[in-house]
Amino acid sequence: MNKFPMDLDTNTVTFLCSWNGHDQVELHTRESLFERYKDTNLYDNEEKFYPRYGIQTYTFKEYLDNSDELLGVPFVCDNMKIERVV
């Protein structure tokens, strides 16, 4: 039984995103994340995302480009937390 309210394709890169703690929580593919937030400052590529486990910081684009190596590692920038889950 799938415990998620949607079917997750294990072959599709998927991110768990939350804002303001857990006020807003969303699952996104690279494409859906871009479509939803392309007109916001998320893709401005200026601010750094910081890991919870003391490794390298990344801009948002760098994080997406390196997410294969960061599976399961949560990163935080301002009020957003992102973690690659698939």
- Beta pairing partners, 29: 14
pTM: 0.82
Rounded distance, CA 72 to CA 60, Å? 16
Closest C-alpha to 45, from 65, 25, 68: 65
| Model pLDDT for residues 16-56, shown as the tens digit of each residue | 999 998 899 999 999 999 999 999 888 887 778 887 666 68
- Taking the domains of the chain in order of start, what are their residue ranges? 20-84
Could you read off the pLDDT of 54-75 as tens digits, one per residue? Answer: 668 888 889 899 999 989 988 8
More confident: 38 or 5: 38
Q: Which helix (H) or strand (E) holds 60?
A: helix 60-65
